[in-house]
Amino acid sequence: MNYYRRLVVALLALACLGKAVTAALSTDNNNDMNHLAKEIKKERAAAEKTVEDMVRHSTFAGSFKPVIRRLLLSKAEASLLWKALKATTHWEDLALIVLVGWLSVPAMKFTYEHSLSNKPFQRSKTYFVTDHLQQIARIAFVIYLVDIVKMICVGMGFDFCKMGAFPHAFAQSAYTLWAMNRLARGKKYLLRRYVTVHPETYGRIQIINRLLDATIYAAGLFIILNILKVEMGVAMHSFLAFGSVGTLAVGLASQGIAQQILNGLMLASSDRIYEGDSVRFSNGQSGTIHKLGWMETVLRGSDEVMVSIPNADLANQHVSNLSRVRFSQVQQTLRFKYSDLNKLPRLLKSIKEEIKIACPQVITDGSRPFRAHWVEYGKDYLEVQVVAHFHIKPIGDEYWENRQRFLQAIDMAVKKNDVSFVAD
């Protein structure tokens, strides 16, 4: 009995030990499983975050579906959007704006031309006022359309870059640009009237006109940037916030541009040349100044070919402005036979007399040379030089016609004195 009792106790003890071991193993397994589950959860979260980052930084992947969802409005959403547009858009306003913007000038022109006024409509004060009202109305129509587009975009969920404030900023910017343009046009009109009375100031007025244009539009740009900053929070520095490499590149490019503009300004303000002047540069180029720009000068040659010359190249060159020369010279070298030696004194006097008759602009008061002299013995000829100066600019048809008369006068004197030229 004792043996069996001991056996039962031993079995029970083994059973308890096995249970305890099983329990212990079970606890270890549970801990391992819990730890493994936590690791898997962490890895899944990391993977999800990686996918989200990839979608966020992708170029097109994943970008079209949200946009398409916003575009595909439901019937209820479309109905609400249409009601909002009907509540805020008044077709009477649009009709009035279109009427003023596109029909006011034709209607006023019809009325004006059937009145008793003989002054052209385009030059009347009525046209001036009506045209400005028409321009204001057309800008208002564009702003109205921008308002409608803004409401549609916001209603569909596209509220980017402070879309709600955009129409207001757009309206202020549009009317600022319009005002700057009107101011520039008015300035140009006043300067043109001044040049009509004082034509000798044309070149200098062109410089003033260019500088005033730059001032007006620069002021307009700063006003628009300030509007964007106030209305939409877009600061000026955001346009200029380049990286260091970009800043260096822009700086180097701007340096060259600034140098060109400075050279152009100095060239124009130096009073050396103006548009329309006939010039000759020290490098041999010659022609008429077609356009005197900020960065380059356009020269029109006698063959009508336009040549663009950077102002930096012209800044250090000598310029002969033929348009500002009030006198011209014509010089001719003649060769006669030795057999006509005794006829030369009478011939030289006759040449001067014929030039005086043929060319009334010749200067004979002694302030400029007027000569017809025998100057040299040649191998088989006698050389005579004729020099005359005229109150004529050395350019244009007047100069060349006068030069032709000068040559004809010499030919007339030679024939009268029965003298022959020596052929080369």
User: Which residues contact residue 62 at a Cβ distance below 8 angstroms, ignoring those fewer than 6 apart?
Assistant: 55
Question: Would you say residue 84 lies in a domain?
Answer: no
Residue 41 has a pLDDT of 64
Q: How confident is the model at residue 3 (pLDDT cuts 50, 70, 90)?
A: very low
pLDDT > 80? residue 56: no
Residues 229 and 262 in one domain: no
Residue 118 has a pLDDT of 77
Dist CA 324 CA 187 (whole Å)? 28
- pLDDT tens track for 322-337: 888 889 999 999 999 9
Residue 53 has a pLDDT of 62
Domain boundary among 257, 289, 323: 323
Residues 188 and 281 in one domain: no
Domain boundary among 323, 358, 376: 323
Stronger pLDDT, 370 or 395, i.e. the higher one: 370
383: nearest Cα among 340, 319, 330, 323: 340
Residue 301 has a pLDDT of 87
Question: Would you say residue 299 lies in a domain?
Answer: yes
Residues 111 and 231 in one domain: yes
Q: Which helix (H) or strand (E) holds 334?
A: strand 328-336
> Facing residues of 376 across strands?
383
**Cβ(382)–Cβ(341) below 8 Å:** yes
Dist CA 153 CA 157 (whole Å)? 6
Following CA atoms 116, 120, 121, 124 in sequence, which dihedral angle do they give, to the nearest 10 degrees?
Answer: -90
Residues 133 and 196 in one domain: yes
Dist CA 259 CA 65 (whole Å)? 51
Residue 250 has a pLDDT of 52
Percent of the chain past pLDDT 90, that is, above it, reads 27
Token output for 48: 């999800």
Q: How many CB atoms lie within 10 A of CB 73?
A: 16
Residues 303 and 338 in one domain: no
Residue 413 has a pLDDT of 93
pLDDT > 80? residue 73: no
- pLDDT tens track for 75-102: 777 777 788 778 878 888 888 999 999 9
Residue 371 has a pLDDT of 93
Ranking 51-55, 60-64, 238-242, 315-319 by mean pLDDT, the lowest is 238-242
Residues 113 and 182 in one domain: yes
**Cβ(346)–Cβ(340) below 8 Å:** no
Dist CA 224 CA 9 (whole Å)? 100
Residue recorded with tokens 């898997």: 40
Residues 280 and 404 in one domain: no
Q: Which helix (H) or strand (E) holds 296?
A: strand 296-300
Residue recorded with tokens 């031993």: 10
- pLDDT tens track for 218-277: 899 989 888 887 766 655 455 445 445 445 555 555 566 667 667 766 776 667 787 888
Q: How confident is the model at residue 20 (pLDDT cuts 50, 70, 90)?
A: very low
Rg (CA), the chain: 46
Residue recorded with tokens 């966020």: 56
Residue recorded with tokens 């040349």: 273
Residue 55 has a pLDDT of 55
Domain residue limits at 234: 89-244
Residue 67 has a pLDDT of 59
Per DSSP, the three-state class of 362 is: strand
The DSSP result for 233-295, as a single string, is ---HHHHH---HHHHHHHHHHHHHHHHHHHHHHHHHHTTS--TT-EEEETTS-EEEEEEE-SS
Average pLDDT across the chain, whole number: 78
Residues 226 and 310 in one domain: no
> Facing residues of 331 across strands?
387
Instruction: Enter the pTM of the model.
Output: 0.55
Residue 291 has a pLDDT of 83
In the predicted model, what is the mean pLDDT of residues 176-190? 92
Q: How confident is the model at residue 25 (pLDDT cuts 50, 70, 90)?
A: very low
pLDDT > 90? residue 354: yes
Question: Would you say residue 79 lies in a domain?
Answer: no
